[in-house]
Structure 1
Amino acid sequence: MASKLMRGTAILTFGTVLSKVLGILYIIPFYWIIGGEENAALFNYGYVPYQIFLSIATAGVPLAIAKYIARYNAIEEYAISRKLFRSGIFLMLVTGVLTFIAMYALAPILAVMQVTSSSDGFTAQDVTAVMRAVSFALIIIPIMSLFRGYFQGHYSMAPSAVSQVVEQLARIIFLLSGTYIVLHVLDGSIVTAMSIATFSAFIGAIASMLCLLYYYFKRRPYLRKQYEADKGTLHISIPALYKSIIVTAIPFIIVGVASSLYQQYDLFTFQRIMVWLGDTAKDAQDKLGVINLSAQKIVMIPGTLALSFSVALVPLVSSAFIKKEYHVVHKNLTDVLQMTLFLTVPACLGIALLAEPIYTIFYGYSAFGTDILAFYAPIAILFSLFSVTAAILQGIDEQRFTVLSLLLGLLVKSVLQMPLMSLMGTKGALLATGLGYGVSVIFTLIIIRKYAHYSFKRIGQRTVGILILNAGMLIATYLVYLLFSQFISPEHRLSSIVLLLICVPVGIFSYGYLSLKTRLFDKIFPGRGDLLRRKLRIN
């Protein structure tokens, strides 16, 4: 089981990280095409509501499908798995069309709620046009996501990984070429360009769907042979299957929509609070664009790893849990939690330390953007932990608590937003988000301890060790950065790249060296430390 977790996570991580990296790198030419990050706020106004509607459209069904397929395959009831998949296709088709109609129709109302009436920012009509353009993707993506869940339920992660990359490439090519043609060839408006940019989600979804269909038909003979080996001892009706899907899927919706709900709350409140504090509507929109798009995209890169872990984790934990193999469940929980901390903590802290050159490379130099990124990056550790702990709850059939954990977090966010922004300005909104996620994570950990009978003693010990190693890494990296930044300016893209090429290897080497020297690496990745020490000649 552990090897499946590692292998599945490795495949999904590679595909997901590559997809996310592409989703970050395109920002550089995109910002050049649209004339800077001030126009990117319009993109964000349309995209965040879309993500919420998308979570409703998919309704958590893909991951629920993965969970139940893994469960029924584990007891060789393959016919039920096939029935579950086929019924899910119909469900996704219906929910996709209905949510598309709902978003298209509600776009004017949501637009009015997101922007102020001031004339120095984007108007509700502008936001409405962008929201309606992206809504078309809702027709395709639910079915596409279902196919990914189907493959993941069979522990086949490659189709999901490859389709993510294909989706991102098709989306980016259409987005960049479309916006360039609109603005620099046809001399069109920024609203039309942003509509093209958001519509690219539909193009990417089509490309991904074609990729998944290729894998499906290629593996159909194997799936048919598996179906013929069905035991046939269980008989579950379609209504019963739908009931299982819906009950299981609701918490998956909550996890998928969590980040978007926090962002949507900022879209509803941030600009109004900042205007009340003395900013112009345009300045408030620009700041919102930084926290909800520019910085958000960078800080969520480490969270991609946690998302890959959680997707690979659910079928494995569910399968072991249904067989009552609790020692396997506990081992998988330990593996995924310590790997998440070992990899995401240094990534988030490293982004915070090197925020100035990182932000400059992607968006151009901005003292405000750098400050926000440095403050925001450590909070992403909590995003990662929430994804993983919520997945654990789903795997042990205690998903009902996922809903409560998110509601508690959003309550904390809503209560603290105004007072913290009054004290800290833009950072107050980020701190409120971090405290909200912190409450959610603590709550999920308590539930895991109670219902999985899992002791966090070992994870606590690992966390202390990881933090000590990170302190050493940060000191070494900071000293090198301080030295070279004296004569290599982080205010220009080329010199920022040079700085990162110097500092990032120092951080990776120091962290790797310390983890191998202290043998912490061996405890997290058994059997791999000795080989690396021999190659690197570390005693």
Structure 2
Amino acid sequence: MKVGMGVADSKLMRGTMVLTAATFASKILGLIYIFPFTAIVGQTGIALYSYGYLPYTVLLSLATLGVPLAVSKFVSKYNALGDYRTGHRLFQSGLLFMSISGLIAFLVLFFAAPYIVPWIIENPTENGNSFEDIVFTIRMVSVALVVVPIMSIIRGYFQGFQSMGPTAVSQVIEQIVRIVFILVITFCIVNVMEGSLGVAVGFATFGAFVGAIGGLSVLLIYWFKRKKYIHEQVEQSTVDHQLPLKKMYKELIAYALPLSFVGLAIPLYQLIDLFTFNRALIGSFMNQAESEVAFAVFSNTAHKIILIPMALATALSITLVPTITKSFTTNDTALLQKQITQTYQVILFLTIPAAVGMSVLAYPAFGALYGVKDLEVGGYILRYYAPITLFFSLFAVTGAILQGMNKQKYAVIALAVGLVIKVLTNAWLLGVLGPLGGILATYLGYTASILITVWAIGKFAEFHYWLIAKRTLLISMFTLVMAAGVMIVNVGMQNLFPITSQLRAFPPLFVGVIVGAVIYLYLGYRSNLAGQVLGNRFRFLNKKRQRQQG
């Protein structure tokens, strides 16, 4: 029996690693394509793309409601009890339910498009994106809502069997198909056919549907290959709980709601900006074209750069969450506290210097990745927005820790409080400070959310923050030394290589990153802070262990 359990655990661990790697690869692909896409459509095109994509993302999350993870948890639970039939009944009814919810979401977004536009821009003029272009873009992306919810339930069902391969492969294929379609179609429309920007961006958002068809095709291939085996297991069920559908969905929603709501954090913040940014700035600070460029930078192009260190930090720390669940369940307080300490340390050690480094190198970073056409506004916004990567990372990880401790309702409360603060302050701060007002409102909302999640972890894990406070102080001191070094190098390099073209932005960025990394890692290594934080993962950093071996 123990051998069987060991094999199952090993399979689950291997599957989880494959899925984590695929999710990470998918996210990196989603970050990289924006650079050539921006080169084709410009910041005005990126603003138009965001007008369609942000309402779609939120509606998609509401239509799927964290379904893959919730279905996976539900199916896994009943399969373990020998009841394969209950999970299969959920899958069959779920396919119908998700098809209907996806269709409803598509119809809502498609027909609401003309009514959404005035919330984004009150009176679109000729010097920016037109009313017709925004409606077209929203309607083109809405079609994907018919397919994606169906994919989510098939992925969740496979994961319930501890089979992560179908989800992993379909995620990567979906992303590759979407990106290739976006880049090819926009290049052809803009550069070959000399078509309008509105048509090009509209078809780019249609890439979400084309990518979804690619992902669904992969899942259907897996399904037809495994259908016979799954049906055999269903027929051989040793137990049948005969749960009524109402009870099944009640249990499913209890799993899904907290997962989906916390995962919606960044899209919900961006949705608030979508409906306030242009309305607050056009007329008082800028004309429509200028406001749309600033919005594109804030919501998409600078935002993509900020997500890079967040992806790295959360990927390293989130692997600790399943072990946190185990420690909390078995009441192993000492191990739980050690794991939480390690999670915090990894996030702070990696993200604080990354956030400050991005802020210092904002202009060369933006110029190297997006060109110099909108460098002034791009570098300006990125300089002040870069530190938000620390806030995004901390909220994602503290929310995950609370989920591991079965206290996810506090993460939901924290997010709700943050969103209320963002709603109440966003338009006012935009009106007072211009684009920086939206950034400040995001900082205020996330600060409130993090204070609540940090407090909840302290209370329910009986976690004390003295060591974390000391480590944060040390990391901050090393980061300041690093920032001073990078600033000096950046000024010197820009005197030698003024950023007059995209190519000339690379030397200051490259040298700045190298100098910053060398200074910070040297200080971390000499103080053995790097060894204490990352020594378990990278043994060469652990000076204490080296001395013991020597």
The corresponding residue for 1:139 is 146
Distance 2:84 2:343 in 1: 28
Matches within 5 A, 1:341-490: 341-365=348-372, 366-490=375-499
In the alignment, is residue 495 of structure 1 matched against residue 504 of structure 2? yes
- Residue aligning to 1:516: 525
Question: Which sits farther off after the overlay, 216-225 or 261-270?
Answer: 216-225
Match in the other structure for 1:180:
187
1:502 to 1:78, Cα distance in 2 relative to 1, 3 A: farther
How many angstroms does 1:379 deviate by?
1.2
Instruction: Specify the SS of the correspondent of 2:62.
Output: helix
Q: 1:317 and 1:161, CA in 2 relative to 1: closer, same or farther beyond 3 A?
A: farther
Distance 1:233 1:320 in 2: 32
Question: Distance between the aligned counterparts of 1:434 and 1:199, measured in 2?
Answer: 33
Alpha-carbon deviation of 1:234?
6.9
Tell me: CA distance 1:165–1:280, structure 2 relative to 1, closer, same or farther (3 Å).
Answer: same
Displacement of 1:261 after TM fit? 1.8
What does residue 100 of structure 1 align with?
Answer: 106
Larger Cα-atom Rg: 2
Higher mean alpha-carbon deviation, 42-51 vs 522-531, is at: 522-531
More moved, 178-187 vs 125-134: 178-187
Match for 1:62: what amino acid? Answer: P
CA contact (8 A) 1:9 1:309 kept: no
1:62-461 alignment, distance < 5 Å: 62-68=68-74, 88-120=94-126, 121-149=128-156, 160-213=167-220, 232=239, 236-305=243-312, 308=315, 317-318=324-325, 321-322=328-329, 329-365=336-372, 366-461=375-470
Tell me if the contact between 1:63 and 1:249 (Cα under 8 Å) persists in the aligned partners: yes
Question: 1:341 Cα deviation (Å)?
Answer: 2.5
1: CA distance, partners of 2:524 / 2:159: 32
- Report SS of the residue matched to 1:130: helix
- Take 1:429 and 1:349, find their aligned partners in 2: how far apart are those partners? 19
Per mean C-alpha deviation after superposition, the further-off stretch among 460-469 and 185-194 is: 460-469
Cα offset, 1:188, TM superposition:
2.4
Indicate the larger mover: 313-322 or 477-486: 313-322
Assess if the C-alpha contact under 8 Å between 1:116 and 1:281 holds in 2.
no
Unaligned runs of 5+ in 2: 1-5
TM-score (norm 2): 0.85
Q: Distance in 2 between matches of 1:227 and 1:344?
A: 47
In the alignment, the residues of structure 2 paired with residue 460 and residue 8 of structure 1 have an alpha-carbon distance, to the nearest angstrom, of 36
User: CA separation in 2, counterparts of 1:32 and 1:299?
Assistant: 19
Counterpart among 51, 55, 67 of residue 45 in structure 1:
51
State the one-letter code of the partner of 2:434. Answer: G
CA distance in 2, matches of 1:471, 1:17: 30
CA distance in 1, matches of 2:451, 2:189: 48
2:178 partner letter:
R
- In the alignment of these two chains, the number of paired residues is 536
Identical-pair percentage: 38
Q: Contact 1:175–1:197 (CA<8 Å) still a contact in 2?
A: yes
The structure, 1 or 2, with the larger RCO (C-alpha pairs under 8 Å, 6+ apart) is 1
- Alpha-carbon RMSD across the aligned residues, in angstroms, is 3.6
Report the alpha carbon displacement of residue 236 of structure 1 after superposing the two structures with TM.
Answer: 5.0
Q: Are 2:365 and 2:505, in contact at CA under 8 Å, matched by a contact in 1?
A: yes
Q: Taking structure 1 as reference, are residues 327 and 59 closer, same or farther at Cα in structure 2, changes over 3 Å only?
A: farther
Structure-1 separation of matches of 2:87 and 2:341: 29
User: Is contact 2:79–2:87 with CA below 8 Å preserved after alignment?
Assistant: yes
Q: Deviations over 1:385-423 (max 9, x none)?
A: 112222233333333333322221122112222442243
Q: Deviations over 1:268-299 (max 9, x none)?
A: 11112112524222222222122112211211
Alignment-derived partner of residue 57 in structure 1? 63
- Does the aligned pair in 2 maintain the 1:133–1:198 contact within 8 Å? yes
Equivalent-residue separation in structure 1 for 2:160 and 2:331 (angstroms)? 19
C-alpha distance after superposition, 1:73-131 (max 9, x if no partner): 78787766666555544443332222112211211211222112142332333211111
Q: Which amino acid aligns with 2:536?
A: G
* 2:327–2:335 contact (8 Å) kept in structure 1: yes
Q: Which range is displaced more, 441-450 or 228-237?
A: 228-237
Confirm or deny: 8 A CA contact 1:57 1:99 kept in the other structure.
Answer: yes
Alpha-carbon contact 1:46-1:127 (below 8 Å) kept? yes
Alpha-carbon distance change, 529 to 293 in structure 1, aligned in 2, over 3 angstroms: closer
TM-score by length of 1: 0.86
- Where 1:486 maps in the other structure, the secondary structure is helix
Distance of 1:330 and 1:228 partners within structure 2: 45
